[in-house]
Amino acid sequence: MLQMLTEFDSAGPKLGITVSRRIGTAAVRNRLKRRVRECFRLRLRPILPQTAALVVIGLAGAGELNFAAIDQQLTAAVEALARRRES
């Protein structure tokens, strides 16, 4: 699940991540958060408005995704949010 808030007073795009224990062990949850942060750093930060705050909520099955799948899903979700905000 992904939510974006714009008009956030900040120096650049912000990221918030929450992953419940249902996703897996602490190692699995931490790996997922590291992958999401890396995707944000490499791909999402450049395409987000400077005033954006992005919240990622890990859902069931997210702990099994590799980096490429996370990157693809988050990029598609952010692009969909941007299109929805424009219309």
The confidence score (pLDDT) of residue 32 equals 95
Query: Predicted confidence band at 7 (pLDDT cuts at 50, 70, 90)?
Result: low
Query: Predicted confidence band at 64 (pLDDT cuts at 50, 70, 90)?
Result: very high
Number of domains in the chain: 1
Domain that holds residue 25: 2-86
**67: Cβ contacts below 8 Å, ≥ 6 apart:** 35, 38, 39
Q: Residue 30: which CATH number?
A: 3.30.230.10
Looking at the DSSP bridge assignments, the partners of residue 42 are: none
SS (H, E, C) 37-70: HHHHHHHHHHHCCCCCEEEEEECCCHHHCCHHHH
Average pLDDT of 25-50? 93
* Number of residues written out for the chain: 87
Average pLDDT of 60-75? 92
Q: What pTM value is reported for the model? A: 0.85
CA–CA distance, 76 with 56 (Å, rounded to integer): 13
